[in-house]
Amino acid sequence: MKSQRREGTDRADAAKLQYTLGPAPEAAALSSLWRKLEAHAESSFFQSWGWLGTWHAALPPGQTLLLFTGSRHGNVVCLALLGVRGNKRHYLSETGDPEIDQLTVEYNGMLIERGSLPLLASDFLPALLAMLPPKAGLVASGVKEDYLAAPITEAFSRQIRATKTVHAVELSALRDDGMPSLGKSTQAKIRQSLARYSRLGEIRLSEARDVKEAVAVFDRLAALHQTYWQGRGRRGAFASPFIRQFHHALIEERFGAGEIQLLRLAAGDAPIGYLYNFRYRQRIYAYQSGFDYALVAKARPGYLCHWHALRHNWKAGAEIYDFLAGTDQMKQAFANKTETLHWLRFRRKTLLYAIETGLRSTKRAASSFFARSGRG
């Protein structure tokens, strides 16, 4: 009976909702609206005005932004910012410009009042899709499972572009020695790295104390990061001038609010590595890093830096240390909890969609036929 009463309440709440979709207001009005709802929402850092306000200010002139609102009795209970590219594709908290969207949002989604969260799948997302212009679709990157559960009309198809695992550490699992529930192999790697780096001097973790120091640490991190990835033929996360400028602005804007954490681990005077983290509502988001792999042979600077950062944030009262999306050996070794994020596309079923779907089906059928017949 309890679940029936809750469902009835949700339906009654949904019947009172009103929606709008139109051009986003100027920055001051949008900031006031967003911050007011954020104070009553279970948001991630990537849904906060700290992140989105910096993003909004950094966008190039001419970038079209739409604002979706859901209101009840005149009170806003749901907001979403949409970037528009080519009038046909709308992006949730992104632009569709690959250069800009390298920022890689995670824990993305509509900003929703806590008490209205059950209406995301049943009402808010379907309402947004219904209000999109004819032939237009929606791209939603790095969203949670709720966006897979939402019912969509026959006018749309839902395509999963990617699914990624998030590895995180509940910091309450750390012991007095700073070890979470690590396997013996991982503990051995950390102790081995400690011994090797200690030959260079005392190992110390320091946190940037002001904006000037934070920007300097970020620049050193970015240089190490780029050296490592470009040495492997990859572009690196900080190759774009826009990306570097965005992060400089983010640090300058949000350091004073305590949302930016830049850490340096050194052995004596020699830097081992740097971590660029976000700090929001007792959660640490491990966003980027830069390590000096040449400093000590066969050591593991990533393991050691994150191990020290775990201890540092545990002592400071943080609850979760989040490695963000993507799987590697180190993340799996430290994590004691996981979540799943999805990169989705809600595509309008137009004539072009039908033709492309038919062509893909024909290609799959042909490939299957030739595989069975031994030809091709």
Closest CA to 73 of 115, 16, 112: 16
Buried b (16+ CB within 10 A) or exposed e, 69-85: bbebeeebbbbbbbbbb
Q: What is the mean pLDDT of residues 135-156?
A: 93
**Residue scoring higher pLDDT (376 or 110):** 110
Q: Is the pLDDT of residue 367 over 60?
A: no
Question: Mind listing the pLDDT tens digit for each residue in 311-362?
Answer: 999 999 999 999 999 999 999 999 999 999 999 999 998 645 444 444 454 4
Helices (H), the chain: 2-15, 27-38, 49-58, 119, 125-131, 146-149, 184-198, 211-230, 241-254, 301-315, 329-334, 351-373
Q: What is the mean pLDDT of residues 34-51?
A: 98
**In the prediction, which pLDDT does 12 show?**
57
Question: Mind listing the pLDDT tens digit for each residue in 71-101?
Answer: 999 999 999 999 999 878 999 999 999 999 9
Q: What is the mean pLDDT of residues 213-218?
A: 98
Q: Is the pLDDT of residue 262 over 50?
A: yes
**In the prediction, which pLDDT does 10 show?**
54
Band the pLDDT of 369: cuts 50, 70, 90. Answer: very low
**In the prediction, which pLDDT does 175 show?**
72
Instruction: Tell me the C-alpha to C-alpha distance, in Å, between residue 247 and each of 51, 142, 214, 318, 338.
Output: 10, 20, 11, 23, 27
**Residue that is written with structure tokens 């300058």 in the block:** 252
CB 79 within 8 A of CB 27: no
Mean pLDDT of the chain: 90
Q: Is the pLDDT of residue 365 over 90?
A: no
Beta bridge partners of 138: 90, 346
Q: Output the pTM of the full model.
A: 0.89
**In the prediction, which pLDDT does 183 show?**
86
| Two tokens, residue 189 | 């790697």
Q: Is the pLDDT of residue 42 over 80?
A: yes
Q: d(Cα 368, Cα 141) in Å, to the nearest integer?
A: 32
Domains recognised in the chain with CATH numbers? 2-153 (3.40.630), 167-339 (3.40.630.30)
Q: What is the mean pLDDT of residues 116-127?
A: 95
